């Protein structure tokens, strides 16, 4: 039964995600829905409600531990048990404070962070990610995963850029939807966060975000909307900050009007930790559960204060029932009540490590490869210098916020050792030290601070050792970038500089060994222009999960042909980036998103600014040509779907995967538009010398803009150019269609 569900869901993922159904039944166009919240338990829920005391009901509306809400034992209602988060199931936290519970059975698989998953541009892998993680969550006997985190990457400096998916709403939703479906296929619920307009850490506790309506609809909400309407996520997390003057956990417009009334959301809204500020208002405006950080749980806004408010007649018990009913509904849905066949799950299994490996290996992005420096040719190679603190740095834990306690995190150095024969000598040198200025390291929990200040002077002895290693080796690989202490929740970075003196180190290494490859391990853009100009080969990896080091070694050695593409723009200069160019980051008490819809590449392309690396960019060890691009028709009605076919030819010598990206443009538009917008993509595997024809479908309604006057999505008639490229700046074919 379980298998059947998974197969159906996988098919729905492929269809929902623009993936051509690879089955024999190529003509199948029907989209199978994800499982929505069932109404079949309603009578049973009413019965339970009629037996509950007011105190028991209130107990379900707030944390009774750091990661659970109260149950009602005598009625068989369990606690609702939650766990972070985006990188895998977080270790068990104590019931009443943030320290680890000290369990020995909470080791989990560490999955690649959001940026890495998106860089795969592979919806099937997003399903795998969710499904694998859902199994781990069940093995830990939890009901809700506080994930996925899908806020738009508005500024490259954002502390959570590594955790989030993309700067683009389309890629964001196409990764989020299958992930949620995969997760919820395991009798657990996703908690999609942080709803919404939470795009910076600076002042996140109070900053009031102002976004114009069109931008909100076109950029910041689509992935959340798809998470609700297409993936049927059962819960949503309200964000910390304010939106248009009202905290997001008590924001009538966002929670009642948009989420519930417009999108038909029937699930539960959970607060971010300590993001609730009122009692009656928060409930009336759409929140269901208050979670928080240490204080007595009955001091929460939705605990004793709520009982007092009911007694004072400020809110009725009937209104409380609405929230309790929703929570019960989700508990029934995930079989936490009333079922004996709930998925049991499994955790930290070899199969899950292999899921993490598959994702990691498709996430790695090849940024530069002059003179075929990569893959490494081992003939005649006797020694390799492995340089840099990041060769051994682990990132499953670190920084502020959720990480994963894992028994397996293969570092880059271990990956190379695993994959290289021991006849090749590895000369390891740490090269740079990860050091911070103590006074600016910040206190955990101080979320108004700027990010850590690094010490960027190289240690002379470490530098000398690294230079010696590079001199005495046939090839040098420098592992640089950042880590999860430097990129972290609760603060934004101060600038794009490579930390810890890495730039100087790399220049000195290249000077003594021209055969130097640079690998950057990071979750967000950095200024790597000087490095790019110095080296022949540049590879980008991520906080890439338990198997990250093995995947990286396989890419460096050519066992895996890289196929990752950047999910955001890497600017040359932070001031080129839209939020910074418009001087609208981070704001003070208020931040107005002055760039409007021109987020990410939309800004760079429209303003004709050259990025360092464009959105969607990534090389391969082979080359691809696009041939024969055509649409099924020349003109379409508003309710139709455009099918674009293109033949991808592998013109190189090795098998590889290419991501065909489809951008649309309307140069004669009567409204302000971005120069181009991503509206479809497909990853395709093509053997050397062979061709594959793929087709990408775009429902015409995807071409709509949000018309503020009519409050409707509106498709402007006329001509549209469909641009097929291997990145946003490498368009290979164009086709024009007419919309009637
Ligand atoms: C984060 C959430 C997280 C929660 C619980 C908050 O600080 O913003 O993403 O789920 O903590 O750890």
- Cα–Cα–Cα angle for 383, 385, 391, rounded to 5 degrees: 130
Per the structure block, which two tokens stand in for 96? 């009443």
* C-alpha 445 to ligand 1 mean position (Å): 12
Q: Which residues make beta-bridge pairs with 243?
A: 209, 246
- What is residue 437's predicted lDDT score, i.e. its pLDDT? 87
pLDDT of residue 14: 43
Residue 320 in tokens:
């409380």
pLDDT of residue 33: 54
Report the distance separating Cα 604 and Cα 323, nearest Å.
44
Angle between helical axes of 42-51 and 317-333 (0-180°, round to 10): 130
| Percent of the residues in the chain that have a pLDDT greater than 90, as a whole number | 92
The average pLDDT across 360-380 equals 97
Rounded distance from Cα 2 to ligand 1 centre (Å): 31
For the chain, the first-to-last Cα distance in angstroms comes to 45
Q: CA–CA separation, 538 vs 554, rounded Å?
A: 15
Nearest CA to ligand 1 atom 6: 273
* Cβ-Cβ contacts under 8 Å for 65 (sequence gap 6 or more): 79, 95, 96, 297
Tokens of 488: 């972290």
Q: How far is the CA of 594 from the centre of ligand 1 (A)?
A: 27
Which atom of ligand 1 sits closest to the CA of residue 239? 8
State residue 533's pLDDT score.
97
**DSSP code of 702?**
G
pLDDT at res. 24: 32
What pLDDT, on a 0 to 100 scale, did the predictor assign at position 440? 54
Task: Give the single-character DSSP code of 201.
Answer: -
**Pick the residue with more confidence: 635 or 453?**
635
Average pLDDT of the segment spanning 191-211: 97
> Which tokens is 629 given?
């691009």
Strand 718-727 relative to strand 656-665, pairing: antiparallel
Least confident residue range of 16-25, 317-326, 375-384: 16-25
Q: How far is the CA of 94 from the centre of ligand 1 (A)?
A: 15
Which pLDDT score is estimated for 23?
33
Atom of ligand 1 nearest to the CA of 90: 12
103-128 burial code (b ≥16 CB/10 A, e <16):
eeebbbbbbbbbbbbbbbbbbbbbbb
- Residues 509-536 have a mean pLDDT of 98
For ligand 1, atom 7, name the residue with the nearest CA.
273
Which residue's C-alpha comes closest to atom 5 of ligand 1? 273
Strands 242-243 and 235-238: unpaired
Q: Residue 449: its pLDDT value, please?
A: 52
| Atom of ligand 1 at shortest range from CA of 490 | 7
Q: What residues contact residue 8 under an 8 Å CB cut-off, 6+ apart?
A: 32
Ligand 1 centre to CA of 732 (Å) is 42
pLDDT at 19: 36
Q: Which atom of ligand 1 is nearest to the CA of 67?
A: 5
Which structure tokens are listed for 308? 């007092």
* CA-wise closest residue to 544 among 353, 348, 350: 353
The b-or-e profile of 515-554 (16+ CB within 10 A means b, else e) is: bbbbbbbbbbbbbbbebeebbbbbbbbbbbbbbbbbbbbb
Q: Which atom of ligand 1 is nearest to the CA of 402?
A: 12
Residues with CB under 6 A from ligand 1: 84-85, 146, 193, 272-273, 401-402
| Atom of ligand 1 minimally distant from the CA of 149 | 9
Residue 572, pLDDT above cutoff 70? yes
**Segment 124-138, tens digit of pLDDT:** 999 999 999 999 999
Name the phi and psi angles at 436, rounded to 5: -125, 150
**DSSP string across 162-199:** TTS--S-HHHHHHHHHHHHHHHHTTS-EEEEEEES---
Mean pLDDT of the residues in the chain:
94
Residue to mutate, 92, 240, 292, 489, ligand 1, most ligand atoms under 8 Å from C-beta: 489
Tens-place pLDDT, residues 596-632: 999 999 999 999 999 999 999 999 999 999 999 999 9
Task: Tell me the sheet residues that pair with 701.
Answer: none
Substitution site in 272, 276, 399 for ligand 1 pocket (most atoms within 8 Å of beta carbon): 272
pLDDT of residue 29: 33
Closest CA to ligand 1's atom 11: 273
SS3 category, 530:
helix
Q: What is the pLDDT of residues 104-114, one digit of tens each?
A: 999 999 999 99
Identify whether the C-beta of residue 190 lies closer than 8 Å to the C-beta of residue 146: no
Nearest CA to ligand 1 atom 8: 272
Q: State the average pLDDT over residues 355-380.
A: 98
In sequence order, the 6+-apart residues with CB closer than 8 A to the CB of 532 are: 367, 368, 538, 612
pLDDT in tens, 13-61: 444 443 333 333 333 333 345 789 999 999 999 999 999 999 999 999 9
Dihedral pair phi/psi, residue 365, rounded to 5°: -110, 125
HEC string of 278-297?
CCHHHHHCCCCEECCCCCCH
What spacing in Å lies between the alpha carbon of 150 and ligand 1's midpoint?
13
DSSP3 helix / strand / coil % (the chain, rounded to 5): 30, 20, 50
Q: What is the mean pLDDT of residues 341-360?
A: 98
Question: Is pLDDT of 445 > 50?
Answer: no
In Å, the largest CA–CA distance within the chain is: 83
User: Is the Cβ–Cβ distance between 108 and 417 less than 8 Å?
Assistant: no
Handedness of CA 184, 188, 189, 193 (dihedral sign): negative
Pocket test for ligand 1, best of 85, 148, 149, 446 (most atoms within 8 A of CB): 85
Q: What's the order of all strands across the beta sheet hosting 624-631?
A: 624-631, 641-650, 691-699
* Beta strands per DSSP E along 46-151: 63-65, 68-69, 80-83, 144-145
Report how far ligand 1's centroid is from the alpha carbon of 642 (Å): 40
CA of 279 to the centre of ligand 1 (A): 21
Angstrom distance (rounded) from CA 112 to CA 171: 17
**β-strands 712-714, 705-707: how paired?**
antiparallel
Domains defined for the chain, CATH in brackets:
39-89+110-333 (3.20.20.300), 350-565 (3.40.50.1700), 622-739 (2.60.40.10)
**Measuring from atom 4 of ligand 1, which residue has the nearest CA?**
273
Closest-CA residue, ligand 1 atom 2, reads: 272
627-630 contacts at long range (C-beta below 8 A, 24 or more positions apart): 627/691, 628/693, 629/724, 629/733, 629/734, 629/735, 630/735
pLDDT at 451: 85
Q: State which of 69, 273, 274 you would mutate to test the pocket of ligand 1, scoring each by most atoms of that ligand within 8 A of its C-beta.
A: 273
From 191, 402, 488, mutation site for ligand 1 pocket: most ligand atoms within 8 A of C-beta: 402
- Measured in angstroms, how far is the CA atom of residue 125 from the centroid of ligand 1? 25
Is 272 a catalytic site residue? yes
Contact (Cβ atoms closer than 8 angstroms) between residue 643 and residue 697: yes
Using the mean position of ligand 1's atoms as its centre, give its distance from the Cα of residue 672 in Å.
36
Question: Dihedral (C-alpha) 319, 321, 325, 331: value to the nearest 10 degrees?
Answer: 120
What is the share, in percent, of the chain residues with pLDDT greater than 70?
Answer: 94
Question: How far is residue 123's CA from residue 135's CA, in Å, rounded to a whole number?
Answer: 19
Atom of ligand 1 nearest to the CA of 194: 9
Per the DSSP assignment, residues forming a β-bridge with 619 are 366
Residue with tokens 């781990």: 136
Predicted TM-score (pTM) of the model is 0.95
Task: Write the Ramachandran bin of 291: left for phi over 0, alpha for psi from -120 to 50, otherwise beta.
Answer: beta
pLDDT in tens, 273-295: 999 999 999 999 999 999 998 78
CA angle 465, 470, 473 (to 5 degrees): 120
How many whole angstroms separate alpha carbon 387 and alpha carbon 54?
A: 62
Catalytic residue among 168, 230, 272, 605: 272
What b/e string do you get for 659-677 counting C-beta neighbours within 10 Å, with b at 16 or more?
bbbbbbbbeeeeeebbbbb
């Amino acid at each position: 039964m379980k298998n059947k569900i998974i197969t159906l869901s996988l098919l729905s993922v492929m269809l929902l995600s623009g993936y051509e159904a690879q089955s024999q039944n190529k003509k199948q166009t029907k989209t199978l829905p994800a499982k929505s919240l069932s109404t079949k338990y309603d009578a049973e829920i009413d019965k339970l409600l009629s037996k509950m005391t007011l105190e028991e009901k209130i107990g379900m509306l707030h944390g009774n531990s750091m990661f659970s809400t109260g149950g009602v034992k005598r009625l068989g209602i369990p606690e609702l048990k939650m766990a972070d988060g985006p990188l895998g199931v977080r270790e068990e936290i104590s019931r009443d404070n943030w320290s680890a519970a000290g369990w020995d059975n909470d080791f989990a698989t560490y999955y690649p962070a959001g940026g890495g998953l998106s860089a795969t541009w592979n919806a099937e892998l997003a399903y795998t990610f969710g499904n694998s993680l859902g199994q781990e969550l069940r093995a830990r006997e939890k009901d809700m995963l506080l994930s996925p985190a899908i806020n738009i990457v508005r500024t490259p400096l954002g502390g959570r850029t590594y955790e989030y998916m993309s700067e683009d709403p389309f890629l964001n939703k196409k990764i989020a939807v299958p992930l949620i479906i995969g997760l919820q296929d395991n009798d657990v619920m996703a908690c999609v966060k942080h709803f919404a307009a939470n795009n910076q850490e600076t002042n996140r506790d109070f900053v009031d975000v102002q976004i114009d309506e069109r931008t909100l609809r076109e950029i910041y909400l689509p992935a959340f909307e798809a998470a609700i309407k297409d993936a049927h996520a059962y819960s949503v997390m309200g964000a910390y900050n304010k939106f248009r003057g009202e905290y997001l956990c008590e924001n009538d417009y966002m929670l009642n009007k948009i989420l519930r009334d417009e999108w038909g959301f029937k699930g539960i809204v959970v607060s971010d930790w300590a993001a609730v500020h009122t009692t009656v208002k928060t409930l009336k405006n759409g929140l269901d559960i208050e979670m928080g950080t240490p204080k007595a749980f009955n001091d929460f806004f939705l605990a004793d204060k709520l009982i007092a408010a009911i007694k004072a007649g400020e809110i009725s018990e009937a209104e409380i029932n609405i929230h309790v009913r929703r929570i019960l509904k989700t508990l029934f849905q995930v079989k936490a009540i009333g079922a004996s066949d709930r998925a049991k799950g499994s955790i930290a299994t070899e199969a899950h490590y292999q899921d993490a490996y598959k994702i990691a290996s498709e996430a790695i992005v090849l940024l530069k490869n002059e003179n075929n420096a990569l893959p490494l040719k081992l003939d005649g190679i006797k020694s390799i210098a492995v340089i840099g603190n990041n060769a051994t740095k682990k990132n499953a834990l670190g920084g502020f916020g959720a990480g994963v306690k894992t028994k397996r995190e293969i570092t880059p150095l271990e990956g190379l050792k695993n994959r290289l024969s021991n006849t090749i000598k590895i000369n390891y040198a740490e090269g740079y030290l990860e050091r911070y200025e103590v006074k600016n390291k910040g206190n955990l929990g101080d979320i108004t601070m700027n990010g850590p200040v690094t010490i960027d002077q190289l240690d002379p002895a470490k530098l000398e050792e690294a230079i010696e290693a590079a001199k005495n080796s046939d090839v040098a690989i420098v592992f640089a970038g950042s880590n999860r202490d430097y990129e972290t929740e609760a603060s934004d970075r101060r600038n794009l500089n490579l930390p810890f003196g890495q730039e100087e180190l790399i220049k000195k290494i290249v000077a003594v060994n021209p055969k130097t490859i640079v690998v950057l391990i990071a979750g967000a853009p950095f200024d790597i222009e000087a490095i790019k100009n110095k080296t022949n080969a540049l590879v980008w990896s991520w906080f890439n999960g338990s198997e990250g080091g093995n995947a990286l070694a396989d890419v460096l050695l050519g066992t895996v042909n890289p196929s990752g593409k950047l999910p955001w723009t890497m600017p040359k200069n932070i001031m080129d980036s839209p939020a910074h160019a418009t001087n609208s980051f981070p704001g003070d008490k208020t931040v107005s998103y002055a760039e409007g819809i021109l987020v990410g590449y939309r800004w760079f392309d429209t303003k004709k600014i050259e990025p360092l690396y464009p959105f969607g960019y990534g090389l391969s060890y082979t080359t691809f040509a696009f041939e024969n691009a055509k649409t099924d028709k020349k003109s379409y009605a508003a309710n139709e779907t455009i099918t674009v076919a293109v033949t991808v030819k592998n013109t190189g010598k090795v098998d590889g995967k290419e991501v065909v990206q489809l951008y649309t443009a309307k140069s004669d538009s009567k409204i302000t538009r971005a120069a181009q917008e991503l509206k479809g993509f497909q990853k395709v595997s093509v053997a050397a010398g062979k061709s594959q024809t793929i087709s990408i479908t775009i429902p015409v309604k995807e071409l709509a803009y949000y018309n503020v006057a009519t409050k409707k999505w509106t498709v402007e008639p006329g001509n549209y150019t469909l641009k097929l490229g291997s990145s946003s700046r490498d368009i290979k074919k164009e086709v024009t269609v007419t919309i009637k």
